[in-house]
Amino acid sequence: MNGFSAAISGVGGAIGRYFSLVSFIPSLFLVGFTFTLIKSGAWVGDPNWAKAGDALTNIGNLALLTLISIALGVIVHPIQFAMVQFFEGYWGTGKLRQRVRVARIRHYLKRSTRQFGDLISAETGLADSENLSLEVKIELLSVAAENERLLEGYPPDDDDMMPTRLGNVLRKYEREAGAQYGLDATTILEHVAQVAPVQRVEYVRDQRQLLDLSVRMTATSILATFIAIAFLWHDGPWLLIALVPYSIAYLSYRGAVVVAHAYGSAFSTMIDLDRFALYDYLRLPRPRTTKAEQRTNAKLIGLINHDPRSSLRYRHPEITGSSSTDPPGR
């Protein structure tokens, strides 16, 4: 997930976005959780939760926590895109990081191969359904359906496998969105977003915002887990409180994977519906067939990628009362 995700998410956008739910809610959770641990006295002895509760109900403390949360959201927001990339599996070129990355990619390659094998076995068994009992048939149908669902979380080519579940889902849509038209989503999506109807772009941005919120909540909850361990490691059973932010981190990450499917489906649909508007704005003739569209788009992608060797024939609108800047057919 590269430039097109940054364009949709609006990283580095207007200052008002810094105070969105993506920035404020995870920051408020982290600040409030840490404040509670500090006021409970957990660092120096057994935690006093009644004392922490009294501190949280103080109006002055609540105002201070709100201000700190807003400030933290402003500070962290510019690295939101990098944070998503980290959870996708872009971990740099260091030897240790690459070893971990390769090990995780191998894990998902083996996993997808096993799930594909289970799917084929179930479908082969169903082909002989006349000799199967109803119970076995239902079990095979369930196995086939579940493995088919799981396989939807991987990119179409093993060479594109990523080291995390989130990365694999997003990579799947990066490769598949627009591919049937000869378009590359990572190259074309920002252009399509400029000409698509506002409601469609807003829907894609809403899905992206949910993805950002899930990832930010995962990151802050992981940090809160380590903070809880640091405060409570010597307090016996109270250390189990660290399971609260850990559980939130786990659920938030699983939620991010689900939202990634919705996000990918949203920008795939935008390409399906609005690519002809892009052709109009670029003064390209509308193709009559899918094959013709694929041939044209092979050159179009080259032009957008600044390849001076690509060449296309334009179709300019006739200037008859309307502005010459209007795209043809609109």
In this structure, the number of other CB atoms found within 10 A of the CB of residue 145 comes to 12
Across residues 171-191, what is the average pLDDT? 94
Give the Cα separation of 166 and 329 in Å (integer).
39
pLDDT digits (tens, 9 = 90+) for 318-329: 766 555 555 655
List C-alpha distances in Å: 73 to 13, 68, 69, 139, 270.
Answer: 14, 8, 6, 48, 30
Mind spelling out the 3-state secondary structure of 75-128? HHHHHHHHHHHHHHCCCCCCHHHHHHHHHHHHHHHHHHHHHHHHHHHHHHHHHC
Give the Cα separation of 199 and 201 in Å (integer).
6
Measured between its terminal Cα atoms, the distance across the chain in Å is: 32
Which 8-state DSSP code applies to residue 330?
Answer: -
Percent helix / strand / coil, the chain, rounded to 5? 75, 0, 25
pLDDT for the residue 134: 81
For residue 200, pLDDT beyond 60: yes
What does R_g of the chain's alpha carbons equal in angstroms? 25
Q: Are 189 and 7 in contact (CB under 8 A)?
A: yes
Q: Are 257 and 310 in contact (CB under 8 A)?
A: no
For residue 144, pLDDT beyond 60: yes
74 compared with 88, residue with greater pLDDT: 88
pLDDT digits (tens, 9 = 90+) for 251-263: 999 999 999 999 9
pLDDT level of residue 20 (50, 70, 90 thresholds): low
Map residue 62 onto helix, strand or coil.
helix
Residue 213 token pair: 């919120």
Handedness of CA 7, 324, 328, 197 (dihedral sign): positive
Across residues 296-311, what is the average pLDDT? 92
Query: Helix 165-176 and helix 185-195: axis angle, to 10°?
Result: 70
Q: Are 132 and 116 in contact (CB under 8 A)?
A: no
Which 8-state DSSP code applies to residue 197?
Answer: -
- Which of 134-138, 173-177, 264-268 is the least confident region? 134-138
Give kind and range of the element (H or E) at residue 303: helix 290-304
What does pLDDT average to over the chain? 88
Across residues 18-43, what is the average pLDDT? 86
Q: pTM score, two decimals?
A: 0.85
